[in-house]
Amino acid sequence: MPAARKAARTTARTGKTAKPARAARGKRPDPERVAAVVAALKKHDPHPRCALDYASPYELIVAVILSAQCTDRRVNLTTPALFARYPDAASLARAEQADVEELVRSTGFFRNKAKNLIGMARALTEEHGGQVPPGMDELLSLPGVARKTANVVRGEIFGLADGVVVDTHVARLTHRLGLTRHTDPVKIERDLMDMLSRKEWINVSHRLIRLGRTICTARKPACPTCPLDALCPKVGVSHRA
């Protein structure tokens, strides 16, 4: 069914009519609808937080590196043992690769992740006094740290918003909600940065990630319980979309 037709469908739960997804037709989404989506997300999740468990900037950067191609839940199950063995950058910098590999094996790509974690810890120790630096360029120079990781760290630890974190959940939800017609995370991020004020950038991705994990899942979105059902052109979608 075409997106515009789906968008005009009356939702079963609320009886309200969803407006068309302009982005799905190649145009920018209606600012009023974007504002309504943001407001509904805020109402549903007034106190958003990062889905990764951490107690320090060091723990956060490690967790974000491990979250590549891995669920946050799996990372949260993995990091307690890793942090118990290597509680700071100095200890991780001295780690044996094989030992770290074993500890992070369940997160996938474990050889590369272990190598990056040790390299990152060495760089923190040798160049930044063991501390996670706030600068985007400094963060991007660390092994294993790409723009998404740097955005998460700067937003979470320093309250600095350079962009919007786009992970698999944000990509899926923005697409379903008709906020973007792109699938490339970099282009999705650009669309979100254009349509949202900078003060929304950090929390909107926390809220979308939580909604994506709990309600608008990839395989079985629970539209009847979704706080965005009246605004979503894909309401009722029951497969990957």
Based on the shown chain and the rule CB under 6 A, indicate whether residue 228 belongs to the binding site for ligand SF4. Answer: yes
Among 24, 95, 170, 223, binds ligand SF4 (CB under 6 A): 223
Binds ligand SF4 by CB under 6 A, chosen from 234, 238, 239, 240: 234
Strand partners, 10: 17
**Using the rule CB under 6 A, is 237 a contact of ligand SF4?**
yes
148 tagged catalytic:
yes
Kindly list the distances between the CA atom of residue 150 and the CA atoms of 20, 74, 87, 168, 228, in Å, as whole numbers in the listed order: 34, 21, 21, 17, 29
Helix (H) or strand (E) holding 101: helix 97-104
Assess 208 for contact with ligand SF4 (CB under 6 A): no
- The CB-of-111 to ligand SF4 minimum distance in angstroms stands at 36
Residue 175 is a binding residue for ligand SF4 (CB under 6 A): no
171 binds ligand SF4 (CB under 6 A): no
Q: Which amino acid is at 123?
A: A
3-state class (DSSP) for residue 193: helix
User: Active site residue: 45, 72, 167, 229, which one?
Assistant: 167
Task: Return the amino acid letter for 134.
Answer: P
Contact call for residue 229 and ligand SF4 (CB under 6 A): yes
Note the helical H segments in 132-200.
136-140, 147-158, 168-176, 185-195
How far apart are alpha carbons 12 and 226 in whole angstroms? 12
Write out the two tokens for 213.
């994990």
From 28-36, 144-152, 198-206, 224-232, span contacting ligand SF4 (CB under 6 A): 224-232
Q: Which stretch binds ligand SF4 (CB under 6 A): 106-114, 161-169, 183-191, 232-240?
A: 232-240
Measured CA to CA, the distance from residue 42 to residue 1 in angstroms comes to: 30
| CA-wise closest residue to 113 among 123, 124, 104 | 104
Query: Whole-number minimum distance, CB 114 to ligand SF4, in Å?
Result: 36
Q: Does 204 bind ligand SF4 (CB under 6 A)?
A: no
Q: Please tell me whether residue 176 binds ligand SF4 under the rule CB under 6 A.
A: yes
The residues that are catalytic are 148, 167
Task: Provide the binding-site residues for ligand SF4, judged by CB under 6 A.
Answer: 173, 176-177, 215-216, 221-223, 226, 228-229, 232, 234-235, 237
